[in-house]
Amino acid sequence: MIPAIGLLLGIAAGLMLDVQVPLTLQPYLPIAVVAALDAVFGGVRAVMDGVFDDKVFVISFISNVLIAAFIVFLGDQLGVGAQLSTAVIVVLGIRIFTNVANIRRHLFHA
């Protein structure tokens, strides 16, 4: 319940406040959002599997975001930022698909 309310609050805050993304963060925010999405879907799956642990979720969420941003930062420094961010997106996308497939099995038994 509280996490759902938190999601709504976050979206509302994003819509209400006219926040400009700082220039230094601009390459990393999309990747961070995708990484956090992956963590959230993993958390939902863990709830359904009955193995959810909020410490694990918090650590995986934060480390996902930080590692994704760091990989992109490293890629930018090495001159392969575009390719590395594509790679991160692909990997996270695959993980999201896997998690959603698990959730789907729980929901529809198929």
Q: What are phi and psi of 47, to 5 degrees?
A: -60, -45
Among positions 41, 42, 43, 95, the unique one binding other proteins when judged by CB under 8 A = 43
Among positions 24, 32, 63, 99, the unique one binding other proteins when judged by CB under 8 A = 32
Alpha-carbon span 99 to 40, nearest angstrom: 10
Residue 24, token pair as written in the block? 């230094």
Alpha-carbon span 25 to 99, nearest angstrom: 28
- Does 93 participate in binding other proteins (rule CB under 8 A)? no
Alpha-carbon span 37 to 93, nearest angstrom: 9
Among residues 26 and 90, whose Cβ is nearest to other proteins? 26
Given the rule CB under 8 A, which residues bind other proteins? 1-11, 13-15, 19-21, 23, 26-27, 29-30, 32-33, 36-37, 39-40, 43-44, 47-55, 57-58, 61-62, 76, 81-82, 103, 105-107
